Structure 1
Amino acid sequence: MFAPRICALIWRRRTVTFAAEGDTDMPKLAFALFALILLGGLWGLYRTPPAPTIGGDLHLAAIAPGGATDTPHLVAIQPWMRTGDYRSAATLEHRLNAYLSHARDAGLLSPGSVVVMPEHIGTWLVAADAPAASYSAGTTTDAMTHLILANPLPFAAAFLRSGEEDQMAAAVFRMRGARMARDYQRVFAHLAARYAVTLVGGSIVLPDPQVRDGRLIAGRGPLYNVSAVFQADGSIDRDLVRKVHPIPDEAGFTAAAPVDTLPVFNTPAGRLGVLICADSWHPDVYTALREGGADIIAVPAFLQPSDVWDQPWGGYTTGWPDDVDQSLIARHTEGDAWMSYSLGHRLFSTDARWGATAFMRGELWDLGSDGANILVAGDTAWVAGQLDGASISALPLPASSP
């Protein structure tokens, strides 16, 4: 009858002994667990993206009038972009949709129209769903630092796979590549289908991108500044345009594509060639587009810093072509040079009859921006955009079958 009591006393004694022996460790363990939970919670809050903000002033200073409702147009969209527009794919789509809606209401988006978005319009999807601190950061470096801190392990893995000169930038884009490709296709496929137009989706930086079974896929190879063309049903063309002449700011982490990889696309308005920004300053790419039978040439562009358009031209940063006299550098402003050495002059060396350069403007971190849409028709070129805001510029095109 004493056995249960003896067992109970033994258990109590052992329990008390163990508790006494662990008195010095238990508070430390509890504190460590509490600290880990607290830090985990704070890190989770830090990584949480802010609520999307939709709307805001479009800064739309000018919009071209349309022609007959059945006339297709070549339309250059010069949007005014803000940091908050890249909080998600949905916020970017909403922002760009507002410009296309204005273009449609002006009679510019008839069946067969070709719409051109600016360079790097998709690149800043790298910041989609980033921590709130990325959007309030004063510089792109600080913004990307917060993105890295929120994703340390994926960044470390991408960093080890990146051998580019600017290894940090390469790792950030490589880390986010799969998501960026998906978001980019979602945004521009939706817009193309919604307005039933051929849409040149500006450009985006992606690792070795390819289109497989109708999907844009980020690979594991070199990073490229690329543009995709979306058809009126929202499908993405299997061919991608890769930048041939990266500028110095890009060359540290993006690769130069061979000029013979430039595709030409069939559209209802004719054969379309696309040149990404600095490429439009070099004769070799126009030779490739002429051989491809391009009727229309679209140039997505992004010019920095702010207020450079009327400043003295600094010359080529991507190597001087043989047909440009270097002694002329002091005689031009930046804007003059765009008209003399880019699409505004070089389209005439091809069999193409129409062209448009679309610039991106806005307030994205510390990037700055300048430029105004340029249109080319026949043997005439002119600046069609506004330097102080957003613009929608357009040329009528003949309707034809590809």
Structure 2
Amino acid sequence: MSPRRFRVIAVQPQWHAADFTSARAFRAWLRRQFEAARPEMSRDRPTLVVLTELNGLPLVLRGGGWALGLRTLERVAMALFLARLPRTLPVLLRERVSPVRALQLADSDANTRLYLHTCRDLAREYGVYVCCGSAPTPRYRLQDGRLRREPGVLTNQSVILDPDGALVGTADKVYLTPDEETGGVDLSAGVLEALRVFPTPVGDLGVAISLDAFRPDVIGALDAQGCTVLLQPDANGASWTALEGLAPDPANRRDQPLAWLESSWAVTARGGQIRYAVNPMVVGNLLDLTFDGQSAITGPADEAPALRSYVMTPPRPGFLALAPWVEDGPPEHLRSLGQHLAAHSGHPRENAYHTAVLHADLTLPAVSRPLPERTPHEHALQALLADAVLPTRRVPWGLLGLGALVYAWWRKR
């Protein structure tokens, strides 16, 4: 059998809250990413385009442009919860979830449809495989020919599509950051044992969303299943040149670029089963939140064109492609610049991040394994991609009288 020769593309976009206030704006934002990547799409081999983590999260703002003037995500979320009380309150009471999860679940059917249909249409139009990044996604099942949502569940989920827009597979993020847990956007953690590898013409794909790529048990599970191309969609919620510190040792603070060397680059540098990794990172300020980083494609040292590395770290082998940061220079200057770029800094360079499109041509042995069997949730998502009708729910208008109680509870929280 002939070896697999293919191209991978990592897109580093910038987001703004206004990109998510309407379906039209969201579609245009995603399309701009594919248009930026178009010159790098191969004409003679399959292409995989990898998008960034949580690029569907801000769809909670859809129809809420009027609230952006409140300036912080917490205030905007509270305003949207109250404005959408006929939808949000029943979810909160029936499914016993927090207000922020209820806000997301209340419109999750429509937003999931918009998100996946937009990615499906772009995969078809551009003729590429797509790792859609990730989005807060409910757990679905098919029942009597219709989609049903599992109450209360909302994972950080990545979806892979083929060039026909059909589902290849899904993966949930197992290790959530504090901003994704209770007190943040309140997502459900995935299950390590549910992670699978998907053999395709563009690699044996395993997904480790952001923090998962730092965890040996996640990498070990994917490696054991034959992963050869690791996909690490990322949304680093901090200035790239700030100090990083996460559990289990938050006191062990170090420069974020140095910490990032322990994810995709370390996985491919060790020379194991996972030969390549693709790590796109979103940049930009979303209300009061800051996202920054350097996207990268890593692989064997002998395939890298030169020694290089993230800012504030020494050059090294293994970076097949690397997005530059805004500037290079002494660490103290870069730390100061990162603060200037951050949300609500008031500096003239606020939100002046660097976008990029990276690509690399990869080669792997021919694939002989079939795709893993689809889960019930994946069967449901494929039905959604095939335009199955999502269920509609009656609005219990009598519950509106409880709105004042919810508002008071939220303020106390």
Identify the match of residue 26 of structure 2 among 73, 88, 92. 92
Counterparts in 2 of 1:84-163, with a 5 A limit?
84-108=18-42, 111-128=45-62, 130-163=63-96
Counterparts in 2 of 1:14-25, with a 5 A limit?
none
1:248 maps to amino acid: P
Q: Counterpart of 1:337?
A: 259
Identify the match of residue 385 of structure 1 among 291, 307, 323. 323
Q: Counterpart of 1:44?
A: none
Contact 1:72 1:109 (C-alpha < 8 Å) held by counterparts: no
Q: Counterpart of 2:138?
A: 207
Distance 1:292 1:192, change over 3 A: same
Tell me, in whole angstroms, the C-alpha distance in 1 between the residues paired with 2:60 and 2:322: 30
- Structure 1 SS opposite 2:243: coil
Tell me, in whole angstroms, the C-alpha distance in 1 between the residues paired with 2:260 and 2:142: 32
- Structure 2 SS opposite 1:389: coil
Instruction: Note if 1:286 corresponds to 2:286.
Output: no
Tell me, in whole angstroms, the C-alpha distance in 1 between the residues paired with 2:212 and 2:145: 27
Deviation at 1:345, TM superposition (A): 0.3
Instruction: Note if 1:181 corresponds to 2:146.
Output: no
Identify the match of residue 354 of structure 1 among 276, 279, 300. 276
Contact 1:115 1:197 (C-alpha < 8 Å) held by counterparts: yes
Q: Cα deviation per residue 1:120-154 (whole Å; 9 max; x = unaligned)? A: 101111222x2331333311122223322331111
Counterparts in 2 of 1:131-280, with a 5 A limit?
131-164=64-97, 167-209=98-140, 218-237=149-168, 239-252=169-182, 253-280=186-213
Instruction: Note if 1:370 corresponds to 2:301.
Output: no
Q: Counterpart of 1:323?
A: none
- Structure 1 SS opposite 2:165: coil
**Number of paired residues?**
317
Tell me, in whole angstroms, the C-alpha distance in 2 between the residues paired with 1:110 and 1:217: 41
User: Considering only CA atoms, is the larger Rg found in Structure 1 or Structure 2?
Assistant: 1
1:384 maps to amino acid: L
Tell me, in whole angstroms, the C-alpha distance in 1 between the residues paired with 2:203 and 2:58: 31
Identify the match of residue 395 of structure 1 among 338, 346, 360. 360
Distance 1:72 1:117, change over 3 A: same
Q: Cα deviation per residue 1:260-279 (whole Å; 9 max; x = unaligned)? A: 10121122122111111111
Deviation at 1:363, TM superposition (A): 2.7
Contact 1:114 1:197 (C-alpha < 8 Å) held by counterparts: yes
How many percent identity over aligned positions? 25
Contact 1:117 1:200 (C-alpha < 8 Å) held by counterparts: yes
Normalization by structure 2: what TM-score? 0.70
Deviation at 1:393, TM superposition (A): 1.0
Tell me, in whole angstroms, the C-alpha distance in 2 between the residues paired with 1:184 and 1:215: 19
RMSD value, Cα: 2.7
Distance 1:373 1:214, change over 3 A: farther
Tell me, in whole angstroms, the C-alpha distance in 2 between the residues paired with 1:211 and 1:297: 30
Distance 1:106 1:255, change over 3 A: closer
Normalization by structure 1: what TM-score? 0.72
Q: Cα deviation per residue 1:177-204 (whole Å; 9 max; x = unaligned)? A: 1112111111111111111111111111
Deviation at 1:90, TM superposition (A): 2.8
Contact 1:287 1:350 (C-alpha < 8 Å) held by counterparts: no
2:285 maps to amino acid: E
Q: Counterpart of 2:228?
A: 295
- Structure 1 SS opposite 2:204: strand
Distance 1:98 1:401, change over 3 A: farther
Tell me, in whole angstroms, the C-alpha distance in 2 between the residues paired with 1:82 and 1:283: 34
| Unaligned 5+ runs, structure 1 | 1-69, 321-325
Tell me, in whole angstroms, the C-alpha distance in 2 between the residues paired with 1:393 and 1:120: 19
Deviation at 1:397, TM superposition (A): 1.7
Q: Cα deviation per residue 1:246-301 (whole Å; 9 max; x = unaligned)? A: 11111212222221101211221221111111111100011111121111011001
Deviation at 1:386, TM superposition (A): 3.2
Deviation at 1:364, TM superposition (A): 1.5
Tell me, in whole angstroms, the C-alpha distance in 2 between the residues paired with 1:313 and 1:215: 45
| Unaligned 5+ runs, structure 2 | 302-316, 326-352, 368-413
Distance 1:84 1:300, change over 3 A: same
Tell me, in whole angstroms, the C-alpha distance in 2 between the residues paired with 1:72 and 1:99: 20
Deviation at 1:240, TM superposition (A): 1.8
Tell me, in whole angstroms, the C-alpha distance in 2 between the residues paired with 1:214 and 1:235: 18
Deviation at 1:78, TM superposition (A): 0.6
